Structure 1
Amino acid sequence: MSIEKVLAKFNPKGCSYEQKVAHGGKPLLSVEDQIAAVGITWKRSPVGFVLLFAEVLNDKTVRYDLNYAALIELQLVLNNWRGSYGEYVSGAIAKAAVDEALTLNGQICGECNGAGVLKDKKRNSRPCQACDEGRVKWDKDSRYARFCHYLPTKRERYESFYPYHESILKWLRGEREAALLAIQARMKAEYEEAEKAVS
């Protein structure tokens, strides 16, 4: 069974980075309870699982929770920064970092719409000059453009935030990797149990 199928067994709309309580004071099922339904260890990387839900299932509710988790982590990192910054900066960094974490292979090219080829005036197909096989790879320039999507600013100003952008990206990638390893380990254990049962 693929990781996508394992994740698709859940309805991530019930998952939340925060512990929520129903109106009657009765606690809702925790995310850990939901994931325990298929025996995956949520504790190893809760943010990584939320990231995988957002990536694989493309759910907006989960995406909101992921942005929130990234913002919390980023604010802890920014506590060590002595400079001043506007109130929307941390949100823009977190959202831009989440965008990259969800599309590690790069953004879909806006010119060719991911096709990797364009038609010239004579209707001949030509490779798109703006991308690499339909994807615009992540680099400092594309990260700056994504950041400006949420908070337009001067390039020089973004340069001062760039180390924190990289820091939160590294954290998100590490969480994703930990969640993937947890799923793969569980799937391997289940497969070995099935093999024992058959033999």
Structure 2
Amino acid sequence: MKDIEKAVEQWLNDVVIGLNLCPFAAKPQRNKQIKIFVSSDTTENDLLETIYLQLKELDETPVSELETTLVVAPYLFKEFDDYNQFLDLVEGLVVQLGKSGVYQIASFHPNYCFYGTEPDDAENLTNRSPYPVFHLIREDSMEKVLKHYPDPEAIPERNIECVENLTAEQIKTLFPYLNKDQ
């Protein structure tokens, strides 16, 4: 489990923060307000319960102590399509809990593929992580940061340009898990 957590933290530091794909991640990481929770769940029902408990913990913990949580699911969702379908259940959980507008879910997977793209398209790298990850985000925190960030609508375009300009060697270094047999 420690190896999994370490791989996710390295991805967070080197890719998400290092490439500035999320310009809002550096401060909470520096302040140790990002929780990486590695789930040992092997069924979707158990993982849904885990995500519920992590949302509850966010509810009960001041933002000054815990800004956001990455729920890592290393034992489920080898296939991106399965992950993507489960994501609908996670979104439904947020709605069912009455937490729409309070939390949003960002999604990351080793084989992430945006709708309308080919699996090898560089833009998919923006959401490729070493394991399936469900990022539980406080919407209030995002709104506060976005007020002070110039042109937040341009972030996805800038991210695509960033990953499209990576060399093959940089991709191999930053995304070593993409080069392994999955």
Q: TM-score, normalised by structure 2?
A: 0.24
Q: TM-score, normalised by structure 1?
A: 0.22
- Higher RCO, Cα 8 Å, sep 6+: 1
More helix per residue: 1 or 2?
Answer: 1
More strand per residue: 1 or 2?
Answer: 2
